[in-house]
């Protein structure tokens, strides 16, 4: 069968449906779906994403069959709408809209009122008897077409848009204060002026032929897939370029036909906090992007009830039907034309982390979805937002009492942020690169600001509502945002902002604090404080039952734990860290780094003494001083962890990392251990290595200095005895680092086991323990079978394994790795997310070989990757027993593990 490139929708029947997102794009697929569930949608058709792919593969040409299909679909639209495209008496107008698979808010350009020219305008006027409306539509069309298709734009960020300049000029000349004061004559003149400006600025004539207009607009949508904004957005959101966009051509309905018409956007629930309430904004006598563009500040949706109860009730019904049909919170766009409601778009609504969890939990209670679906509804990174800081309420109240509240805007993206003010994206990005924390302040944001928004802690705008570009993108990025802060007077040229009647002039680089949960904007820095969930779990300053947010979190996490197989451990080497991790749900410690303990108090002196000793006796003497410290550390950690497994890694870093660097320190040390400054300097020099990462570290230390291994093993086992007597039957897991050959391991293992026997005898306590190793050198992965003959567990050290597989030092990669991502040599930073095709193959091999030898070999991962959702999924699929990550990532890893398990079981089929 030949390919079908165009899909019609309208009059209660569509050729597509919601499942065809890949082909029709999100917008096209959902327009079709809304038609199928009998919602009022103006007729139209979708040109598929395959045409976009074809377009870029074939020197920007269309498939030959396309034209015929478009004409046929257009004829159907004409029949449905009872008007004819280009007809002078009864013209059909259309919009041309982009629509990729994943929604890309504001990334692509939409053209409205297409089909108007000097002749069809007359027909429209006769038909509607409303010349002002018709000329307003014409004016908008020429403006959008001139901008998007013919590319007449301002050339830099300080310049005013050329069309807006013409409008402002006329407004001044006529003494108007509002666009609504324009007469139809004014608007007619504006059209002519626009056309002249287009000709002058671009050399192109504005096309009068509607067919030419249509193909021009279609081409512009396809070309916009490759524009700068779209490229940046795709990169930030990992959207592949191959997907392409669809084009939707749809019969126009008019929200600008007068006071009984209007347009709006809404969410079926509150996207900020998840409350089950209708949430949105509208404007009467307005068209298209007016609501989101922030030019006029829109009204809350509830006021539509007063404006027109009938339409409001109809919308409420649509809201219910959409949720019943999609089983999710939806984001809708609608237009009212002379009291008749039309749906123009719907999609699954973007939401904040707190809202995502609340909606998921509520919808399970409302029986709209099952538990597993609820788990799949929350992105692991969104959990971060529940753990994000808030302002200290007292401090904030004080600041407000002292008059430092500059203004209040809309609470568009919850959380607290504090940083230096920058007024454009360029300056913001540069400041961020210098290491500053920034707040991006704009009158309103547009897609050009994406980079700056991404670089900022928070975003503040003076115009636009809860569904403005700034609010939408901030929510998606998980940024703090205060939008529509009307009193702010922002001056881009002077780079200042102020509020009438307030004594402050905030300049570029000044600190402000914004509260995205309340909309407050405060001058100066405010301390931030842990979130409510943290206050319940960690600080214990709020009781669980007193926090609603915590209640929802708690419920959600019980479902998460019910549906996961992978265990989650934490990387911690202090008792308080370990305690936090347990509060976050950690089921054990996957990596306790003993070297961190060496820096506490004055222990470092004994460590240095040990390193500097020339003979074994000297080292032993120093180690004896360290032993009680280490033992106490382990006792405390075991007490916090109760019976949970604890994996302790023996000393790993090269010894010179512990030595003093400054002259003063060296002198002090010399006195303390009774040697000379020169002796110490000599020793430091002798420990110098050309490539420490591959040098004298890991088990190599324990091989040169077996007494270190012995002391550490003794500290662990003696601590085990201590807690055993308290009733905590811990089973310590001792981990030998940096093994490349099984014989290295065997040597260390023998010391550890011998020490265990001794301690058991001395203390008369019997305990169990495991000895295992890290798999972090490729040779260890390759010889995993031999190593598993002796080792009782493996733990992948994916940081080193990645370094050594790539031959790439992580700490030195900062200067060149970004270019690898930019040039798409690598899709992602392999230190952030496991390199499945390289490092992953080694891991898979090691798991297989290891378990061939030892069926019940316990395997985990303790690299940074253990808290990264995609890597967690990968580990789940590899059949690992656990992942280990930093305490604050534990909830995220739990969720990622549950999602991997549900997905693996074939969800949603
Ligand atoms: P975006 O992808 O940026 O949301 P849209 O294609 O949804 O762009 O178009 C933006 C706005 O233009 C819509 O929200 C709607 O208000 C208006 N619009 C688009 N098509 C039509 C139409 N056929 N009739 C009336 N308004 C339309
Ligand atoms: Mg758009
Ligand atoms: Mg839209």
CA distance linking residue 907 with residue 377, whole number of Å: 12
Mutate which of 43, 288, 346, 473 for ligand 1? The one with the most ligand atoms within 8 Å of its CB, which is 288
Per DSSP bridges, beta strands 84-85 and 94-100 are unpaired
How far away, in angstroms, is 335 Cα from ligand 1 center?
9
52 assigned to active site: no
- pLDDT tens-place string over residues 834-850: 999 999 999 999 999 99
Mean pLDDT of 38-62: 96
Which residues share a beta bridge with 776?
Answer: none
pLDDT of residue 287: 86
The response to whether residue 264 sits with its C-beta less than 6 Å from ligand 1 reads no
State how far the alpha carbon of 252 is from the alpha carbons of 115, 232, 288, 814, in Å: 10, 31, 10, 51
- Most confidently modeled of 170-179, 480-489, 870-879? 870-879
Q: Is 74 in the pocket of ligand 1 (CB under 6 A)?
A: no
Which residue's CA is the closest to the ligand 1 atom numbered 11?
Answer: 288
The model's confidence at residue 530, banded by pLDDT at 50, 70 and 90, is confident
CA dist., res. 266 & res. 268, Å (int)? 7
Q: How confident is the model at residue 909 (pLDDT cuts 50, 70, 90)?
A: very low
For the record, the structure tokens of 315 come out as: 């919308």
Cβ–Cβ under 8 Å, residues 388 and 457: no
Question: Of ligand 1's atoms, which has the minimum distance to the CA of residue 99?
Answer: 2
CA 206–ligand 2 middle distance (angstroms): 21
- Based on the residue annotation, tell me whether 327 is a catalytic residue of this protein: no
State pLDDT tens for residues 216-244: 999 999 998 998 888 888 887 888 888 99
> Residue range 325-341: average pLDDT?
96
Looking at the predicted structure, is the pLDDT value of residue 631 above 60? yes
Segment among 554-568, 761-775, 819-833 with least mean pLDDT: 819-833
pLDDT at residue 1 above 70? no
In this model, does residue 384 exceed pLDDT 90? no
Strand 262-267 and strand 245-251: pairing? unpaired
Q: Which ligand is nearest to the CA of 95?
A: 1
Q: Which atom of ligand 1 is nearest to the CA of 333?
A: 14
Residue 526 in contact with ligand 1 by CB distance below 6 A: no
Ligand 3 centroid, distance to 26 Cα (angstroms) = 11
Residue 598: pLDDT band with limits 50, 70, 90: confident
- The segment with the largest mean pLDDT, out of 154-168, 600-614, 699-713, is 699-713
Q: What is the pLDDT of residues 543-576, one digit of tens each?
A: 999 999 999 999 999 999 999 999 999 999 889 8
Q: How many CB atoms lie within 10 A of CB 827?
A: 12
Please report the pLDDT score of residue 469 as a whole number. Answer: 80
Q: 494 by DSSP, 3-state: which?
A: coil
Residues at Cβ < 5 Å from ligand 2 ion: 110
**How far does residue 345's CA lie from ligand 3's centre (Å)?**
6
Cα of 561 from ligand 1 centre, angstroms: 42
User: Model confidence at 803, in pLDDT bands (50, 70, 90)?
Assistant: very high
109 vs 412, higher pLDDT: 412
Cβ of residue 250 lying under 6 Å from some atom of ligand 1:
yes
Q: Share the mean pLDDT of the chain.
A: 92
Q: What percent of the chain has pLDDT over 90?
A: 74
Report pLDDT digits (tens) over 659-708.
Answer: 887 888 899 889 988 889 998 999 889 889 999 889 999 999 999 999 99
Is the CB of 396 inside a 6 Å radius of any atom of ligand 1?
Answer: no
**Which ligand ends up closest to the CA of 265?**
1
Q: In ligand 1, which atom is closest to the CA atom of 292?
A: 14
pLDDT mean over 176-201: 93
How much distance in Å is there from the Cα of 416 to the middle of ligand 3?
29
Dump pLDDT digits (tens) for 134-158.
Answer: 999 999 999 999 999 998 888 776 6
Mean pLDDT of 456-485: 85
Assigned token pair, 564: 């996961």
> Which pLDDT score is estimated for 872?
98
* 387 has pLDDT over 90: no
Q: Does any ligand 1 atom lie closer than 6 A to the CB of residue 721?
A: no
Does the beta carbon of 31 sit less than 6 angstroms from any atom of ligand 1? no
Ligand nearest to the CA of 104: 1
Q: Which of 817, 782, 787 is nearest to 801 (CA)?
A: 782
DSSP state at residue 93: -
Residue 364: in which H helix or E strand, if any? helix 353-365
Cβ of 382 less than 6 Å from ligand 1: no
Q: Rounded to the nearest whole angstrom, what is the distance from the C-alpha of residue 156 to the centroid of ligand 1?
A: 27
| Catalytic one of 469, 563, 656, 865 | 469
Phi, psi of 181, deg, nearest 5: -80, -10
pLDDT for 765 beyond 50:
yes
Residue by residue, DSSP assigns 667-714 as: HHHHHHHT--HHHHHHHHHHH--S-GGGSS-THHHHHH-HHHHHHHHH
User: Rg (Cα) of the chain, in Å, rounded?
Assistant: 33
- Which atom of ligand 1 lies nearest, measured to the CA of 250? 23
């Amino acid at each position: 069968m030949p390919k079908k490139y165009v899909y019609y929708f309208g009059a209660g029947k569509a050729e597509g449906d919601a499942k065809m997102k890949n082909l029709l794009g999100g917008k096209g697929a959902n327009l079709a779906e809304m038609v199928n569930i009998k919602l009022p949608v103006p007729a139209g058709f979708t040109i598929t994403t395959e045409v976009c792919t074809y377009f870029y593969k074939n020197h920007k040409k269309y498939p030959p069959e396309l034209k015929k299909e478009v004409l046929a679909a257009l004829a159907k639209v004409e029949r449905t709408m009872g008007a004819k495209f280009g007809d002078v008496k009864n013209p059909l107008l259309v919009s041309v809209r982009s629509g990729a698979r994943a929604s890309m808010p504001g990334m692509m350009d939409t053209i409205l009122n297409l089909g108007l020219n000097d002749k069809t305008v007359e027909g429209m006027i006769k038909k509607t008897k409303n010349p002002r409306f018709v000329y307003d539509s014409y004016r908008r069309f020429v403006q959008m077409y001139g901008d998007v298709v013919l590319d007449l734009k301002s050339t830099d960020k300080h310049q005013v848009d050329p069309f807006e300049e013409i409008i402002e000029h006329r407004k001044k000349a006529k003494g108007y204060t509002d666009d609504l004061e324009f007469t139809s004559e004014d608007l007619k003149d504006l059209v002519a002026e626009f056309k002249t400006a287009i000709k002058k600025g671009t050399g192109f004539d504005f096309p009068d032929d509607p067919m030419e207009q249509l193909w021009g607009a279609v081409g512009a949508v396809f070309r916009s897939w490759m524009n700068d904004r779209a490229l940046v957005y795709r990169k930030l959101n990992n959207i592949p370029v191959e997907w392409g966009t669809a084009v939707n051509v749809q019969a126009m309905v008019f929200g600008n036909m007068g006071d009984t018409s209007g347009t709006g956007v809404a969410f079926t629930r509150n996207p900020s906090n998840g409350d089950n309430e209708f949430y949105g904004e509208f404007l009467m006598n307005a068209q298209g992007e007016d609501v989101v563009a922030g030019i006029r500040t829109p009204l809350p949706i509830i006021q539509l009830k007063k404006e027109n109860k009938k339409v409001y009730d109809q919308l409420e019904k649509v809201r219910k039907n959409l949720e019943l049909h999609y089983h999710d919170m939806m984001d809708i766009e609608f237009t009212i034309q002379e009291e008749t409601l039309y749906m123009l778009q719907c999609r699954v609504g973007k939401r904040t982390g707190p809202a995502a969890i609340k909606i998921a939990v509520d919808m399970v209670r409302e029986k709209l979805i099952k538990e597993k679906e609820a788990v799949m509804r929350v992105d692991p990174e969104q959990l971060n937002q529940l753990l994000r800081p808030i302002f200290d309420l007292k401090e904030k109240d004080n600041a407000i009492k002292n008059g430092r509240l500059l203004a209040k805007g809309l609470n568009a993206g919850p959380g607290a942020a504090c940083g230096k003010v920058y007024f454009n994206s360029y300056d913001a990005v540069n400041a961020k690169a210098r290491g500053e924390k920034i707040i991006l302040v704009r009158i309103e944001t547009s897609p050009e600001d994406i980079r700056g928004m991404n670089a900022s802690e928070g975003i503040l705008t003076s115009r636009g509502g809860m569904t403005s570009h700034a609010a939408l993108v901030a929510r998606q990025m998980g940024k703090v945002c205060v939008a529509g802060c009307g009193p702010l007077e922002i001056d881009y040229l002077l780079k200042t902002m102020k509020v009438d009647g307030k004594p402050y002039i905030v300049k570029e680089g000044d600190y402000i604090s914004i509260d995205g949960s309340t909309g407050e904007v405060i001058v100066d820095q405010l301390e931030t404080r842990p979130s409510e969930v943290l206050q319940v779990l960690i600080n214990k300053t709020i009781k669980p039952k007193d926090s609603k947010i915590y209640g929802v979190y708690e419920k959600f996490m019980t479902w998460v734990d019910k549906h996961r197989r992978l265990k989650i451990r934490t990387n911690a080497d202090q008792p308080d860290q370990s305690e936090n991790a347990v509060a976050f749900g950690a089921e054990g410690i996957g990596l306790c780094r003993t070297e961190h303990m060496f820096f506490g108090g004055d222990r470092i002196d004994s460590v240095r003494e040990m390193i500097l000793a020339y003979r074994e006796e000297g080292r032993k003497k120093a180690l004896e001083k360290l032993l009680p410290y280490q033992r106490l550390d382990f006792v405390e950690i075991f007490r916090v962890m109760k019976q949970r497994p604890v994996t302790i890694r023996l000393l790993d870093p090269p010894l010179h990392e512990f030595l003093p660097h400054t002259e003063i320190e060296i002198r002090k040390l010399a006195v303390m251990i009774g040697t000379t400054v020169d002796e110490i300097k000599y020793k430091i020099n002798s420990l110098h290595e050309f490539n420490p990462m591959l040098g004298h570290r890991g088990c190599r230390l324990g091989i040169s200095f077996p007494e270190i291994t012995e002391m550490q093993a003794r500290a662990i086992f003696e601590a085990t005895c201590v807690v055993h007597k308290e009733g905590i039957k811990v089973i310590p897991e001792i981990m030998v680092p940096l093994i490349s050959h099984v014989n290295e391991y065997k040597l260390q293992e023998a010391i550890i086991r011998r020490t265990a026997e001794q301690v058991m005898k001395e203390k008369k306590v019997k305990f169990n323990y495991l000895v295992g190793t890290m798999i972090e050198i490729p040779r260890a992965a390759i010889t995993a079978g031999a190593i598993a003959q002796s080792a009782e567990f493996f733990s992948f050290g994916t940081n080193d394994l990645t370094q050594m597989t790539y031959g790439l030092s992580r700490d030195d990669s900062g200067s060149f790795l970004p270019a690898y991502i930019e040039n798409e040599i690598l899709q992602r930073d392999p230190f952030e997310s496991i390199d499945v095709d390289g490092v992953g193959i080694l891991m898979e091999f090691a798991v297989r070989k290891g378990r061939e030898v030892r069926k019940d070999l316990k395997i985990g991962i303790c690299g940074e990757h253990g808290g990264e959702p995609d890597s967690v999924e990968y580990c789940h699929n590899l059949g690992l027993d656990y992942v280990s990550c930093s305490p604050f990532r534990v909830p995220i890893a739990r969720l990622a593990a549950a999602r991997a398990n549900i997905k693996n079981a074939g969800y949603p089929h």
